[in-house]
Structure 1
Amino acid sequence: MEKHIYLISGMGADQRIFNNLLFPEGYIPHYLEWLTPGEEESYIDYAARMAARIEHENVSLLGVSFGGMLSLEIARQRPINKTILISSIKQTSEKPSYLNLVRRTGLLRLLNLPDAIIFKNRGMILRYFLHAETPEEKQLLTDYLNKTSYDYLRWSIRQVVNWQNDFLPEGLVHIHGGKDMSFPIRFVRPDYTIPTGGHLMVLNRAAEINEILKKELP
């Protein structure tokens, strides 16, 4: 019997982030590509547009980072068998302190500055926080940086900083890395911890993740 699992990558990433994942027999993966958000589009409305592209019933979702957060909103709007988060957060209480600081101090206003100012050093910052380990991973991040629109980044950053959620769907599985610098483990209560995993562990710790998927996807 065919089973369908829909995949949502992290902010600015694409389906290559899932290249090393293996799903149990019978599962057919489908990648949900990020849509272009409207300038004033709400997080809820955006999730509804993403959810409308799910073409099957009785599906599972797997989301990485911001894609995991979006998976939770989709699971709020339609029935999902199992929602799997990797390198993400599931509740407001798990947001790292630096995001709360940005929200409280109004630093989001900096997003109104010209592109050349606010995104000038984004590559160096991302490589540090995402913990790219190999030349291939660093090149992949460079590709993402070159193709991601600044309007999309502005919208996504605002959603992450302002994100509030206490909804936990049935069948939720949270996998996190002990060395994640974007969402530090000290704030997070995952079901599974990969001690050496950073924020890109979906790529470089896929073997451990695949073992968890074997357990969690019937």
Structure 2
Amino acid sequence: MRTGDLMVLFFAVFSLISVNALSQDKIHTVYLIPGQGADARLYKNLELDTAYQVKHIDYFTPEKDWDMETFARQLAKQIDTTETYSIIGVSLGGMLATEMTDLLHPEKVIVISSAKSRKEFPGRYRFQKVIPVHRLVPGFAIKMGAKILQPIVEPDRSKDKATFKSMLRNKDPEFLKRTTTMILTWKRETYNTKIVHIHGDLDKTLPPRFVQYDYLVEDGSHMMVLTRGELISEIVNNIMKE
């Protein structure tokens, strides 16, 4: 083989190795957004494939006049858009992920136990938009009400009662009040069809009969990402591979 041919072969092999190395080093980050009364511990039983780097979106108390889109835009500043990334959101986190889908360009978006538009809300949510009694209720009362209602709407919380109680106890009452207003006044009517929706058939907060889901989990409650972590992990990993 001539010297020139050897040089061409050498550069071809070197280029192939370089491309493979770059592809192997490529980071795919999955950003996790918790629910309104939760934090990063909500995802403690979610096991993603080792190919993904996991990062948690941290909540802060939004300004009084912020709507869902504004809050999503501010939280999205925590996302590194220079790398490949996907977003997973539960409940309020799923609504925020829905808004981020229009603002950003995530590879995958998965919402769990959530709504992708106000059309997926039950009637009591729409009633409170027309007659906004929640605006008259102070934040501490909303937090107290959540503590009382949690055992009712989350019947399987007994599987990890300490985590449920601790997450809610650590919530700022003003955060709960402002995000409640944000949810009840959400104007979104449509959503990006790339979003994949996982819902539980026992979800009492957002009943499945109002929701256009892609996966319905048998015996799944509103917080099934915590209480049914193994099953949800399997579904999520399969979606990520598609």
**Structures share fold, TM-score greater than 0.5:** yes
Deviation at 1:158, TM superposition (A): 0.4
8 A Cα contact 2:139 2:173, kept in partner:
no
Structure showing greater radius of gyration is 2
Q: Secondary structure at the match of 1:175?
A: strand
Please state if 1:43 is matched with 2:68.
yes
**How far, CA to CA, are the matches of 2:143 and 2:197 in structure 1?**
31
Please state if 1:130 is matched with 2:154.
yes
Please state if 1:103 is matched with 2:126.
no
**Counterpart for residue 92 of structure 2:** 66
**Counterpart for residue 146 of structure 1:** 169
Equivalent of 1:18 in 17, 38, 43: 43
Deviation at 1:166, TM superposition (A): 3.1
Deviation at 1:88, TM superposition (A): 0.4
Deviation at 1:142, TM superposition (A): 1.5
Deviation at 1:10, TM superposition (A): 0.2
CA 186–114 in structure 1, closer or farther in 2 if over 3 Å, else same:
closer
Please state if 1:34 is matched with 2:59.
yes
Q: Secondary structure at the match of 2:29?
A: strand
TM-score of the two chains, using structure 2 as the length reference: 0.83
The structure carrying a bigger helix percent of its residues is: 2
CA 32–25 in structure 1, closer or farther in 2 if over 3 Å, else same:
same
**How far, CA to CA, are the matches of 2:224 and 2:180 in structure 1?**
21
Listed as ranges, the gaps of 5+ residues in structure 2 are 1-23
RMSD value, Cα: 1.7
**How far, CA to CA, are the matches of 1:114 and 1:152 in structure 2?**
8
8 A Cα contact 1:63 1:84, kept in partner:
yes
CA 118–152 in structure 1, closer or farther in 2 if over 3 Å, else same:
closer
Deviations 1:2-30 (A, max 9, x none): 31110000003111111111112311110
Listed as ranges, the gaps of 5+ residues in structure 1 are none
8 A Cα contact 1:44 1:73, kept in partner:
yes
CA 79–149 in structure 1, closer or farther in 2 if over 3 Å, else same:
same
Equivalent of 1:53 in 69, 78, 100: 78
- Paired residues in the alignment total 215
Identical-residue share of aligned pairs (%)? 29
TM-score of the two chains, using structure 1 as the length reference: 0.91
CA 133–60 in structure 1, closer or farther in 2 if over 3 Å, else same:
same
8 A Cα contact 1:21 1:209, kept in partner:
yes
Deviation at 1:70, TM superposition (A): 0.4
**Counterpart for residue 199 of structure 1:** 222
**How far, CA to CA, are the matches of 2:146 and 2:131 in structure 1?**
21
